[in-house]
Amino acid sequence: MKSLLSMTDLSLEDIYGILDLAAEIKEKRNQGKITDHLRNKSLGMIFEKSSTRTRVSFEVGMNELGGHALYLNSNDIQLGRGETVEDTAKVLSRYLNGIMARVYSHDTLVKLADNATVPVINALSDKEHPCQVLADLLTIKEYKNRISDMKFVWVGDGNNVCNSLMLACAIVGMEIVVACPKGYEPAEEFVAKTRELGGVLTITDNPLEAAKDADILYTDVWVSMGDEEEEQKRLKDFEGYQINEELIAVSKPDVIVMHCLPAHRGLEITAGAIDGPHSVVFDQAENRLHAQKAVLLKLMVLDE
Ligand code: CP
Ligand code: NVA
């Protein structure tokens, strides 16, 4: 693996390797042990969009691994004034050991990776969010002791996080049911790829039906970054596509409730669901740190 742009850049073996390494690093951190395997390494972090978790977990992760992270708001570097993505990738590769980027268009990541001589990490694009999903898999493994042979239910927008989760479910062998309003289904490209990978995928517009016997209930915002202009329409269209007590009641008794955050209580999830006993959302957020440290080690040291 040279770069991580899509879940499909990872094999089943890669995923298990990353989760094992993440668990090991997490345990060492809890014991106060130092794991500074990235001494003298630098990661550039290009952001075209806002972030709390991704920015902080990558920066702290690099710091704890003995390296350094640079926050590069795309408006503050020459990229924002028209320097090409290609030239930016070539120049940054002369200084850095890795580039992560959060972008509007996935094509920007592809151009970065094609022109960089260092690994490029997708920190969210309009199409995928693989770092989030690795943290989600780590969280599922911690709670369920496995990441296969379960029923994963997505409620809401067929968006970037949903795409990466569908691919991940196909790779690891977990059934996925996507419940979304008509017109907000995941893109055909990702549906086809999921099925090509052997994924067991159902798409429905009935969340209550979907939630029956779920092991995992997952949702995300109705209005993603970049969709703000459609906000009023989306708020109407997504009414009812909410994780709430009714959905939890028809799921398995030990269902876990997941959300990549940031959350909007009362919209895609009720306060009772996100702050209740089934919720694992803050473990998910913490696991961003551990899963991404494993990715950084894999890309910058192990696979070098
Ligand atoms: N889940 C996630 O990526 O959060 P941020 O947008 O805060 O980075
Ligand atoms: N789907 C959301 C995820 C935020 C972490 C977005 O793209 O804004």
Q: Enumerate domains of the chain plus CATH numbers.
A: 7-128+288-302 (3.40.50.1370), 132-284 (3.40.50.1370)
User: Which residue has the CA at smallest separation from atom 6 of ligand 1?
Assistant: 51
> Which segments in the chain show pLDDT lower than 70?
1
**Residue 194 labelled as part of a binding site:** no
As given in the structure block, the two tokens for residue 291 are 């899963």
Q: What is the pLDDT of residues 206-241, one digit of tens each?
A: 999 999 999 999 999 999 999 999 999 999 999 999
Q: Is 129 an active-site residue?
A: yes
As given in the structure block, the two tokens for residue 200 are 């067991």
pTM score, two decimals? 0.98
Q: Is 55 an active-site residue?
A: no
In this structure, the number of other CB atoms found within 10 A of the CB of residue 199 comes to 20
Q: Is 288 an active-site residue?
A: yes
Instruction: Note the maximum CA span of the chain.
Output: 55
What pLDDT does residue 304 have?
74
Task: Give residue 191 CA to ligand 1 midpoint distance, Å.
Answer: 24
What pLDDT does residue 299 have?
97
Residue of 215, 220, 234, 290 marked active site: 220
As given in the structure block, the two tokens for residue 191 are 């549906």
What pLDDT does residue 279 have?
98
What pLDDT does residue 302 have?
85
What pLDDT does residue 303 have?
82
Q: Which atom of ligand 1 is nearest to the CA of 285?
A: 1
What pLDDT does residue 1 have?
64
Q: Which atom of ligand 2 is nearest to the CA of 132?
A: 5
Contact between 35 and 25 under an 8 Å Cβ cutoff? The reply is: yes
Q: What is the pLDDT of residues 253-295, one digit of tens each?
A: 999 999 999 999 999 999 999 999 999 999 999 999 999 999 9
